[in-house]
Structure 1
């Protein structure tokens, strides 16, 4: 696959960086004062140091797998596949992770490695001789690098806070600290610091068009969008240490205003638009094709075919392939009732949720409702075949649709109800989802509570499988509520009551001849579903998921697949190994435990939250 120029430069330089990775928590970088000065004595050398900061966002331990696909599970859209184990990825998804869980230590340590690298860049750029005697062009470049490093550091701290709450804070390199053993800093103090840093970075980093750069490089819109996201987190709820309960941040209106202003600046800039194709947007990530509309404001790059710089996106998660050409594991399952949050007209449904897997003959095998996968990432949408687990798929950290919905949310809070601008922003997202069926978009509420609830659901539909939902629910203090609602919905789904009265108990479909491969990855996700040969019994194919069964007998030549019948009580509650969110406890499990080895390395660091 062809990568953009920035990533090509990034990875060619990565092996030459003289700033070494911080392999353990708060390790001091092994640079002498002389070596540190030499690293920043030119714009080109400084860029190589900045590359090291970007590099810390990549690979298995951060946005190649763990930070975005494992720690983000589960909300009310997706969960990790498989049975509960306190010491692996499934422990995280069931809210039962313990301090020895193997998924916790590397994201924490590698994120601090990124902070250490960013601190070195942020410290040394103002001290560089380039800033004193260099050309104006080089000074401008150095300031841009400074803005990018400030933004990346803010991103790193946001990742730490949303997963672990209060954490040790340092904004200078470890070598400059009088004491390496740092206690936790209140998250609001950290948030306020990084929000100020991002405000500074806005003036240093150019708009994408001004720099002729791509989504893998931080632009002014990326800075502003991240600042809006962090401001909403600061305004919202989080699990506090004392008292140990979910509490809203102080002075929330101030932070809603920040989010509103930043999003409005991006909207007014004309730099970014919605891609007309929701599916096409995600396909472009698989082929590294530039998104002409620039909807993807910032994507974390993946490159190199290894666990340090590439990603397992599309292999670990996404549509499951059992065939040898596109072998992938399908490690994330869609919660069955998530499928029914979408209407049959919503084009996002079949992109977000894969109700089939591809068998060894490249045929679409319809799956029972408890075995559906997330579908936005599919190995068969790449050009990579065979058993490779690293597919070079970038992670879309920030999209323009998020800007529109954050703007609408902040507008609603500031004005005690939505303005027409806010309604229009949400409508734009809806209309893209209902392209070809605009009459089915529905009415957007205009009262504050109704509009907020509409956004809560719209974000669920728009960002399913993108690692945002759990954190959204936490900042709204809705995680407990939505987990309980989901259990109630699953019970209704199992019993065929309420909204699921017309959901079939089972579905019949006919497999093609063994020599026929009926899964065609170039077709749309919706067409892949419609290509399945369902037994219709007089109903339209689009209605097969919404019509109760008329016959119990399996028609000749068809295979019976349990739909509602796949749902059983152990999936819902009562089974400590299989039940959805079984170990969740309010005012405790909104945050993860810090890895035991990290706690043991710093006598000032406390575990908290009953872990």
Structure 2
């Protein structure tokens, strides 16, 4: 199924878009009482919230572009002063356009959510005697609250304390509100979701399934927001802190993941690759792995344009799949962290690209490892030789393994690695390995890491990296765990060790990789896991791999020492200054209410 409401600008939006901070310019001729008086128009009113996913603020920025650098994805921000480079290097200015569009569209989505919430709650239809009408209207209310909570979560991760707007805009309202404490906002949004989730519908009960916010996703969002609220965050004096009541929020995360597991459990589909191939094939199974994914219409969305397997196309190419880049490369430390029998590695880490002749060949430079879960060349219908953006491939917002691992994490924090926590971790790992390995890679492994709370937590940190690589949620996890800078330092040290061992000839890993394509065009690597002295015959191509980490001039390639430098030795060494300044336009439009204070700005 492929629906189109993401790029629709709903005609029922009551306030026109504007550059000023949430200030309405004019009232629409539509009346909210009419719009939310019937199911069809109310659906359109809620669709207005979804429409903002179709803007660059989400489709390229928040979904993937702005979520590096971490220990499992990287990009060099120090070699340019462009907007996205400033963000990657943690040196964004108030004038940064990418931050401005995220701020603007986040608050426009929140505005439209508030309009829908007020309209639905005032409609009288939530208590309709028509059961179908009441169920639908209550579900729409849950969608609106859930989407608003998502945007507030993102604003908090990027800007810290922000204005908390919970009313629909009306002429005469004061829109120049001051910042609200991030913990107050998160607590409020969590409670709102708790209030509405029981009246929502499951994915198999709504028209658009997982392409529509559903009860599964809302339950998962209660847990995700609770772990954000109960986790660490950066204070204006550049220290990492967490509130004294953090265990209360771990309890909420445990309760609501347990509720979803109890009410709507499902077996993880056996084929890990197929989860993402479904998105490339426009397949949206319910009661499966993905709980909710942003439904980009064909012609919209940047998946397999700026993230995914690199495809070199254009009007002179021998194929009609167009061009796709990959902004977030995978560091070899992450690739080599996988167990060699973990099937997720070769799905997540693409060591090949598609060249203009429509052939697979080794990635550029040997270390430009791509995000292998999506590619435009997986599409059933080639989008055109000159195409780039607009693949229509959906973006996953939450998957069921996330629920299982959030449950395991919360349970461990509260009670240690109990049998229930261990079983949740095992369920995720069972899919990652052939059944012949379950005795060692699942049961024995989980038993080994379950000796105490700390070792089990470390296993959760690792498992989330292996399970969600390329899905660009790692940044938020490292923040709430309070280990962002620590993990960046580990990554740099790990890369240096790999470079040294390869250069000195002492590595057990591939200093070179040897690859070829067979007659059917299948791409094969001789030694994906180990060093070999030479290939068995001359049909193999040699590609420098770990040896490419070394630099005769700098000892290590510059990106190793520079990509994460501000994450390790920024304004406060050992603390990542992940908070960015509020855009200058928002400050100017706030009439003195907002300012960039603290965080070393």
> For residues 112 and 136 of structure 1, what CA distance do their matches in structure 2 show?
33
5+ residue gaps, structure 2:
none
Structure 2 CA distance for partners of 1:131 and 1:220, relative to 1, 3 Å: closer
Tell me the residue number matched to 1:39: 35
5+ residue gaps, structure 1:
520-530, 535-540
> Is structure 2 residue 18 aligned with structure 1 residue 28?
no
Which residue, out of 370, 373, 381, partners 1:373? 370
Question: Number of matched residues?
Answer: 575
Q: Is the 8 A contact 2:6 2:50 kept in 1?
A: no
> Is structure 2 residue 422 aligned with structure 1 residue 423?
yes
> For residues 572 and 164 of structure 1, what CA distance do their matches in structure 2 show?
37
Which residue, out of 581, 587, 590, partners 2:578? 590
Structure 2 CA distance for partners of 1:100 and 1:338, relative to 1, 3 Å: same
1:284-330 CA-to-partner distances (Å, cap 9, x unmatched) read: 1111213254211111111141xxxx211011111001144222122
Structure 2 CA distance for partners of 1:130 and 1:404, relative to 1, 3 Å: closer
Once structures 1 and 2 are overlaid, which stretch shifts more, 317-326 or 571-580?
Answer: 571-580
Tell me the residue number matched to 2:104: 109
Tell me the residue number matched to 1:398: 398
Which residue, out of 546, 560, 566, partners 2:548? 566
State how 1:79-158 maps to structure 2 within 5 Å: 79-80=74-75, 84-128=79-123, 130=125, 135-158=130-153
Structure 2 CA distance for partners of 1:458 and 1:18, relative to 1, 3 Å: closer
> For residues 577 and 480 of structure 1, what CA distance do their matches in structure 2 show?
15
TM-score by length of 2: 0.89
> For residues 187 and 199 of structure 1, what CA distance do their matches in structure 2 show?
18
Structure 2 CA distance for partners of 1:110 and 1:573, relative to 1, 3 Å: farther
Which residue, out of 544, 547, 550, partners 2:530? 547
Q: Is the 8 A contact 2:16 2:28 kept in 1?
A: no
Structure 2 CA distance for partners of 1:55 and 1:250, relative to 1, 3 Å: farther
Q: Secondary structure at the match of 2:337?
A: coil
Which residue, out of 258, 265, 280, partners 1:264? 258
Q: Secondary structure at the match of 1:185?
A: coil
Structure 2 CA distance for partners of 1:87 and 1:102, relative to 1, 3 Å: farther
Q: Is the 8 A contact 2:126 2:135 kept in 1?
A: no
Q: Is the 8 A contact 2:550 2:557 kept in 1?
A: no
Tell me the residue number matched to 1:74: 69
Structure 2 CA distance for partners of 1:573 and 1:162, relative to 1, 3 Å: farther
> For residues 335 and 99 of structure 1, what CA distance do their matches in structure 2 show?
30
Structure 2 CA distance for partners of 1:163 and 1:337, relative to 1, 3 Å: same
> For residues 463 and 420 of structure 1, what CA distance do their matches in structure 2 show?
24
Q: Is the 8 A contact 2:74 2:328 kept in 1?
A: yes
Tell me the residue number matched to 1:317: 307
> For residues 505 and 495 of structure 1, what CA distance do their matches in structure 2 show?
11
Tell me the residue number matched to 2:241: 247
1:145-166 CA-to-partner distances (Å, cap 9, x unmatched) read: 1121111111111111112111
Structure 2 CA distance for partners of 1:221 and 1:79, relative to 1, 3 Å: same
> For residues 400 and 265 of structure 1, what CA distance do their matches in structure 2 show?
13
**Pairwise CA RMSD:** 2.7
Q: Is the 8 A contact 1:69 1:467 kept in 2?
A: yes
TM-score by length of 1: 0.88
